[in-house]
Structure 1
């Protein structure tokens, strides 16, 4: 992630935890954790907990839907 990317992310944009990410992407927790562990979503583990940018998740899924 470049400095330019992080300039547009603020703490209210961050989604902490696989369960919260599942709600954003409208998938079950089980499916979401599988996607996260396979690095198929734009997220990372920090201190043993998944974190993602809400904006980047939506953009990623919107772009994927257009394929």
Structure 2
């Protein structure tokens, strides 16, 4: 049985999300705020799951 915690690699804050998607923090913040990325705001901080972000871009590109 795989370790579910390893599968859920969370990215906290706009800067970390920006690094993964190859955008500036400003571009990323705009995408987050307008709902263009699969992420949520938790306690005033943006959080996204790395796997969902990657899948989102792979599906968009296809």
| TM-score normalised per structure 2 | 0.87
Structure 2 Cα separation of the partners of residues 9 and 39 of structure 1: 26
- 1:39-67 CA-to-partner distances (Å, cap 9, x unmatched) read 1000000000000000000000110011x
| Matching of residue 53 in structure 1 with residue 49 in structure 2 | yes
Instruction: Count how many residue pairs are aligned between Structure 1 and Structure 2.
Output: 59
Consecutive unaligned residues in structure 2, runs of 5 or more = none
* Equivalent in the alignment of 2:24: 28
Indicate the RMSD between aligned Cα atoms, in angstroms. Answer: 1.8
Shift of 1:10: 2.7
Give the TM-score, by structure 1 length.
0.81
1:3 corresponds in structure 2 to none
